[in-house]
Amino acid sequence: MKLFVGLGNPGAKYAGNRHNIGFMALDQIASDHGFSPWKSKFQAQMSEGTLSGEKVILLKPQTFMNNSGQSVGEALRFFKLTPADVVVFHDELDLAPGKCRVKNGGGHAGHNGLRSIHAHIGADYGRVRLGVGHPGHKDAVAGYVLRDFPKADQGWLDDLMRGLSDGAAALATGDSGRFMNAVALRVAPPRSSTGEASKGRKKAQKSEPGVAKTPAKAATPEAPAASDIPAAPEDSRSPMQKLLDKFK
């Protein structure tokens, strides 16, 4: 069993905040993979489902960000899980918007939600760090994360959420590489063709059977080789005869 935890603050007032990107991720996973309706338990909103044969509990603590660990600790003890079974989805200031990284263990880097979880279950849990960018100065951080994502960010945000959902099954089985590949295919899909070689492929694709083609130019006749030109007859006249012939 895995416990996926999304961090955020409860209530409609905070729903669109950068700080709530963890809640958004779990909402997407629950919706796409047919999880049970959300219900109140462990001071949180909880939903249950299965990913790649692995039972997964989705947990959105309703204690406000700074006390998220209370809810996570309760769920962990109830299901008799270890910190290694926990994966926390959270906003990350040190990553550019739209970037995603997986990490196991380590410090909380000043994130109050992670700080609280550290206090209740220790540091040996997994994290999915979701980049929201940095406002540029530490004094502006609180106001920045508690503001909604602007409309200009909705494109990459939607791609990221879908990528997280696509890779959720791999994450549940512990395959972080496949998880990251699924996210990358959404946020940075490979181009179908590039460079001169692709131009040639595009031209070839246009020349399908049944499509009239431009007739090829007729080949230009080759100039005869020097060896094919008959040599001029040798002049056998004497020098005196050549001189006399000029005055005829």
Give the separation between CA 191 and CA 217, rounded to whole angstroms: 35
Which two structure tokens, joined as six digits, stand for 201?
């492929």
Which residue from 135, 186, 165 is spatially nearest to 18, judged by alpha carbons? 135
**Is position 90 annotated as part of the catalytic site?**
no
Sign of the CA dihedral running 199, 200, 201, 207:
positive
Task: Choose, from 19, 90, 111, 118, the residue flagged as catalytic.
Answer: 19
φ, ψ of residue 199 in degrees (nearest 5): -60, -40
Contact 68, 20 (CB under 8 A): no
The alpha carbon of residue 183 and the mean position of all alpha carbons in its chain are separated, in whole angstroms, by 4
Token look-up 């001189």 returns 243
Give the separation between CA 88 and CA 65, rounded to whole angstroms: 13
Decide the pairing of beta strands 86-92 and 44-51.
unpaired
For the stretch 87-103, what's the b/e string if a residue is b when 16 or more beta carbons lie within 10 angstroms of its beta carbon? Answer: bbbbbbbebebbbbebe
Q: Provide the annotated active-site residues.
A: 19
